[in-house]
Amino acid sequence: RRSNPPIFRTVYTCALNKRGGVEADVTVSIVESGQGELHDPIFKGRGYYIVAGGASAYHTKSHMLATIQEKALRAVVTDQTEELGVLSIQGPKSREILQKITDFDLSDEEQLPPNSNAVLSLKINPFYSCNVRVLRVSFVGELGYELHIPEESCNDVYNALMKAGYKEGLRNAGYRALYSLSSEKGYHLWGNDLRADDTPVEANLGFTCRKKGDYQGKAIVDRQLENGINKKLVFFTLREQVPIWGLEAVYRNGEIIGHMRRGEYGYTLQKPIGQAYVTRPDGDYVTNEFIRSGRYQVEVMGKMYDAECHLRSPFDPKGERILGIYK
């Protein structure tokens, strides 16, 4: 057990191809050589714990291995997907519930701030504790934690969490709920609103690209940052309660300028929400002024519906919920 575990940084980032397109978006956590467990391995040199989306994990791994081989990097990639499980506890009471099964002080924001990770001990019962890697991250835009657990301990940790959160109303949530929440927050889903033919600048992910140092696709990213982009990811909310699923045509002032890459229902906003990359009919650069000045409609099953266009999701635009600030 670690009474004062070291805290390390976790960052959300993108892996690009030579055209500047996003081949993968992942979280990368700095780790130190640990105690030999799967989530806390022993190694020499630098170590990174990379978490990819379940649906795109093999594509991510393939891209990493190809890059390592092409650049002759001295690196070893170990896939632990089958040996580790992930439980994500999210929501305004997530900290309160998790605190019940650990002696680590989660209330101290400096101890485990957003975008950090540590190996913590969880109390399964009075006689048994389990070490897990905890990432302070969220796929749904809420205060929350990801618990990365050795396979043999997953059931024990799950049962301990459900017992600890019974009075708070802790419930299971499926992937459809996660997709809706992440879309409402404005987070990406690789393969849908983020693909290998989309650059970080086009996808509003320019903040993930470092200014110093080189990386694959940097020349394309730098050129777009300097000159502009021909397509841009934006958000649409519909005024009428009509379901959208993706691929619906988007019109600006009567002209088609794109299609929905992703469509969900935003249960907090209480309206349909979707993401689309918009272009200009004249092929010129897409600017914020061009986006703001249009009148938009979305075609659903042959019928046109008025839509509001947003440069970013209207849900929690300041990101306060991730910090545990609920109003």
Whichever domain contains 15, its CATH number is 3.30.1360.120
In this structure, is residue 161 part of a structural domain?
yes
Same domain, 25 and 151: yes
Q: Residue 86 is part of which domain span?
A: 8-167
Spatial CB neighbours of 257, under 8 Å, sequence gap ≥ 6: 250, 251, 278, 279, 280, 281, 294
Both 137 and 15 in one domain: the answer is yes
Q: Are residues 162 and 242 in the same domain?
A: no
Please tell me the total count of domains within the chain: 2
Digit-coded pLDDT (tens) for 276-307: 999 999 999 999 999 999 999 999 999 999 99
Residue 182: inside a domain: no
Alpha-carbon gap, residue 185 to 174, rounded angstroms: 17
Is the pLDDT reported for residue 186 higher than 60?
Answer: yes
Tell me: do 85 and 148 sit in the same domain: yes
Same domain, 135 and 205: no
Same-domain pairing of 239 and 155: no
Has residue 237 been placed in a domain?
A: yes
146 marked ligand binding residue: yes
- Same-domain status, 36 and 131: yes
Which of these, 298, 228, 295, lies nearest to 261 by C-alpha position?
298
Q: Check whether residue 19 and residue 150 sit in a common domain.
A: yes
The verdict on 149 and 13 lying in the same domain is yes
pLDDT in tens, 211-227: 889 999 999 999 999 99
Residue 7 has pLDDT above 90, yes or no: no
The tokens of 282 are what? 């004249």
In this structure, is residue 184 part of a structural domain? no
Q: What is the pTM of this model?
A: 0.92
* Token duo for residue 45: 């040199």
- pLDDT by residue (tens digit) across 37-54? 878 888 888 899 999 998
Name the helix (H) or strand (E) containing 8: strand 8-16
Residue 83, domain member (yes or no): yes
Question: What is the average pLDDT value for the chain, to the nearest integer?
Answer: 95
Co-location of 148 and 55 in the same domain: yes
Q: How far apart (Å, rounded) are the C-alpha atoms in residues 193 and 172?
A: 26
SS3 content of the chain, % helix, strand, coil (to 5): 20, 30, 45
- Check pLDDT > 80 for residue 2: no
